[in-house]
Amino acid sequence: MDISPILNGFGVVLEPANLLYCFAGVIIGMLIGVLPGLGPGATIAILLPLTYGIGPVPAIIMLAGIFYGAQYGGTITSVLLRLPGEASSVVTVFDGFALAKQGRAGTALGIAAIGSFIGGTVSILGLTLLAPIVAGFALDFGPPEYAALGVLGVLLISSVGNGHKLKAIIAACVGLLLATVGRDTFTGAERFTFDSLNLAEGIDFVPLAMGLFGLSEILYNIEERHNQVHSPAKVGNVWPSRKDLRQSKGAIGRGSLIGFFLGVLPGGGATLSSLAAYAFEKRRAKRPERFGKGAVEGVAAPETANNAAATSSFIPLLTLGIPANATMALIFGALLIQGIQPGPQLVAQHPDVFWGVINSMYIGNILLLIMSIPMVGVFVRILRVRPAILAPITVLITLLGAYTVNNQVYDLFLVIVFGLLGYLMKKLGFEPGPLVLAFVLGSMIENSSRQSLLIFGGDPTGFFTRPISGTVLALVVLVAVLPLILKALRRRRPAGRADDTVEENAP
């Protein structure tokens, strides 16, 4: 393996400007993780306009820092307030807050910081080793393979993601529909524009993302939390004892592996990884009744897993151009804004971006470990600021950011419309993630499919004659059909058992 590109990547990261953006991203991520409800997705959406004014390398380094920095920030509110700052920190509440009530909040935060660092570092090593291999394999991809991968990505994020599957599929279909708005790339015909010149060029990704993730989250969390008053728990010694480290080392190791592999899967992500790691530790424990009452492993496992998953989710994004989750879809959009197409050619065409982003995570994880423990006192003070004060400031920043992209009032209108749509979606149990991901992938699916049909002379069976696209489409069918088969088997089992019972009781 040629390590010269990796070393050059460290040279890119160690440039003063890139180091500054890495530091800024990690700090912003930690602060956002502390503020319940806002999250890295909303923050990245709000900050997308800032990426216009800086280069692609510092822009993506900063956004990546926000993403994995927020994973640890969410731990602080989970432990001190029993209030997850991030969805991926929900499981940490069970044992983290129990430890805080025992006067061991510092221990919980310390073990979370160590686990986050180890999980993130292990995942970065895996990313360094596997990403070039995946990218080299993906060089054989053409329009049919991209079309098949796009369909698989939308289907997986709809079926594997959080929430009700049918609602996720509906949201993804809406995203695909919104992606068709504007002029047809092949014929120039206008579609769903309603004779509006503003819609002729399609819907811009930035106002859509800022509305669905930024404004909608603010509106929803104001309603949910404006009557809640919390008093943060006191923080003592933040360095875990030898006994705590000994109890946690296995959970940290297993959480690193679980997080890495689940983070690569579309729809997996940090939340699913933290849940899986916690469930695995509880199942294998000799005394599972300890979990939920202050087990250190109950903090170490999910916190390690969610940081490992946050890092490994960059593998499908950078090598295949497939966002593994909603936040990756936003970073995907940020790369497109910079004129860079994520995918197999990224390593060859933009090695500074590819290796710069990967190697920045080494530096970012070290910064997280150094800063997380001393800054706990600052975060506790931030938690005392009322949402009624923070929300108007955030709304103002969101609207100003949207306006500065194209200097058009129409973009503000789009942000408000999609903000209200996102708010209603959350109230009705719909997640905006599948919609945004489908919107991002929609154009790729349509263009690649139509290019493929031109190659195949209009014969759709050509997708199945190519080895890679045929295999991916077989996976699509499997993912779509397997839940139906399992559901049918579950229905038959009770009936079969009932028949057996009748036969046994028969004279």
What would the pLDDT profile of 219-278 be if each residue is shown by its tens digit? 877 776 655 545 555 555 567 778 888 888 888 999 899 888 877 765 556 766 887 788
Compare 405 and 128 and report the one with higher pLDDT.
128
Q: Please check whether residue 383 is in contact with residue 230, taking contact to mean a CB–CB distance below 8 angstroms.
A: yes
Of 165 and 116, the one with more pLDDT: 116
The C-alpha atoms of residue 125 and residue 228 are separated, in whole angstroms, by 42
The tokens describing 477, both together, are 């069918």
CA pair distance 276, 255, nearest whole angstrom? 9
Eight-class DSSP state of 182: E
Q: What mean pLDDT do residues 183-193 have?
A: 81
* CB proximity list for 297: less than 8 A, separation 6 or greater: 95, 247, 248, 250, 251, 281, 285, 291
Q: For residue 376, what pLDDT is reported?
A: 64
Residue 160 has pLDDT above 50, yes or no: no
Integer Cα distance of 117 and 112 in angstroms: 9
Q: What does the H/E/C string look like for 94-150? A: HHHHHHHHCCCHHHHHHHHHHHHHHHHHHHHHHHHHHHHHHHHHHHHCCHHHHHHHH
Distance CA 271, CA 30 (A): 17
501 falls in which pLDDT band (50, 70, 90)? very low
- What's the average model confidence in pLDDT over 54-72? 84
Bridge partners of 182, per DSSP, are: 191
Query: Do 216 and 422 meet the contact criterion of CB atoms below 8 Å apart?
Result: yes
Give me the mean pLDDT over the 465-492 stretch: 80
Q: Could you give the CA distance from residue 380 to residue 41 in angstroms, rounded to a whole number? A: 23
Q: How many CA atoms lie within 13 A of 436 on its CB side?
A: 35
CB-CB contact of 75 with 112 (8 Å): yes
Q: What is the pLDDT of residues 101-117, one digit of tens each?
A: 787 777 888 888 888 88
- Kind of pairing, strands 182-183 and 190-191? antiparallel
Residue 161 in this model has a pLDDT that exceeds 50: no
How much is the average pLDDT of 287-309? Answer: 85
CA 84 – CA 275 distance, rounded (Å): 14
DSSP 241: P
Mean predicted confidence (pLDDT) in 373-390 = 65
H or E element at residue 191? strand 190-191
How far apart are the C-alpha atoms of 221 and 37, rounded to whole Å? 6
For residues 445 and 235, give the distance between their C-alpha atoms in angstroms, rounded to a whole number.
51
- pLDDT number for residue 462: 84
Q: 74: which strand partners?
A: none
| pLDDT score of 175 | 87
Residue 266: per-residue pLDDT: 56
Q: How far apart are CA 30 and CA 43, in angstroms?
A: 11
Alpha-carbon distances of 403 from 5, 41, 48, 249, 429, rounded to whole Å: 38, 19, 12, 49, 30
pLDDT digits (tens, 9 = 90+) for 332-375: 888 888 888 887 778 778 888 888 888 888 888 888 878 776 66
Average pLDDT over residues 266-292: 76
What is residue 20's predicted lDDT score, i.e. its pLDDT? 92
End-to-end CA distance of the chain: 74
**331, pLDDT greater than 80:** yes
3-state secondary structure 383-447: CCCCHHHHHHHHHHHHHHHHHHHHCCHHHHHHHHHHHHHHHHHHHCCCCHHHHHHHHHHHHHHHH
Using only the alpha carbons of the chain, give its radius of gyration: 23
Which pTM value belongs to this model? 0.65
Domain coordinates in residue numbering, the chain: 4-493
